[in-house]
């Protein structure tokens, strides 16, 4: 069981990382393997909308023409049993690194032609908001929507706040054990017609 964790955070010692550590503690205890790749540390350009109509070749061909770490990250996702997207909340939304990566991922998967595009992989989202914590629900809604568009089987989206993080850490550890079972949402995933 391979769990890939993709934080949109720069801080490996921050609160988002603390939530990840609890989740992975449970996964490791249940026999899972994990890899954590911080998106801001990777070379990931934003989408160039490379054709005059703004859609880009990815929509027609199912792959991105930009040569950076994106392609290798897509391969790692495809080789994973579960993917965890962990996002610190700024301005009530996804970080720029998370948004930029997922914007490109949804474009290559739009027509679902490319066998390299991950489909139906269980995914979990963690959204940690400091300060008032009010941005967590909106961020969760954004993450849930884009992960479904990308073709993931979203099994949970967890809002975390500065005020409740300590209470949720034990639950995240239990979730990590659960993820090793490769859960599904039970929903039939819809793929766009060709």
- pLDDT (tens digit per residue) in 8-23: 999 999 999 999 999 9
In the chain, what is the greatest distance between 2 CA atoms, to the nearest angstrom? 51
What's the pTM?
0.91
Would you kindly state where each structural domain of the chain is located, as residue ranges?
A: 2-179
Q: Which CATH class is domain 2-179?
A: alpha beta
Band the pLDDT of 193: cuts 50, 70, 90: very low
- What would the pLDDT profile of 99-127 be if each residue is shown by its tens digit? 999 999 988 875 555 555 556 899 999 99
Gyration radius of the chain's alpha carbons: 16
Please give the C-alpha separations between residue 86 and each of 179, 187, 189, in angstroms, as whole numbers: 15, 23, 23
The pLDDT of residue 89 is above 90: yes
End-to-end CA distance of the chain: give it in Å, rounded. 32
pLDDT at residue 34, rounded to an integer:
97
Q: What is the pLDDT of residue 159?
A: 97
């Amino acid at each position: 069981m391979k769990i890939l964790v993709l934080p949109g955070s720069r801080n490996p010692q921050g609160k988002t990382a603390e939530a990840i550590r609890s989740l992975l503690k449970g996964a490791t205890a249940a026999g899972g393997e994990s890899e954590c790749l911080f998106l801001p540390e990777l070379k990931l350009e934003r989408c160039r909308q490379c054709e005059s109509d703004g859609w880009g070749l990815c929509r027609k061909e199912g792959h991105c023409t930009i040569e950076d770490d994106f392609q290798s990250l897509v391969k790692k996702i495809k080789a994973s049993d579960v993917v965890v997207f962990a996002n610190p909340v700024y301005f009530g939304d996804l970080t720029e690194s998370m948004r930029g990566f997922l914007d490109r991922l949804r474009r290559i998967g739009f027509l679902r032609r490319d066998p390299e595009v991950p489909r139906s992989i269980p995914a979990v989202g963690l959204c940690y908001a400091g300060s008032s914590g009010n941005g967590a629900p909106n961020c969760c809604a954004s993450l849930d929507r884009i992960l479904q568009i990308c073709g993931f089987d979203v099994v949970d989206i967890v809002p975390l706040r500065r005020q409740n993080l300590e209470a949720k850490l034990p639950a995240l550890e239990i979730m990590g054990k659960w993820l090793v079972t490769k859960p599904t949402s039970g929903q039939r995933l819809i793929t766009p017609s060709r």
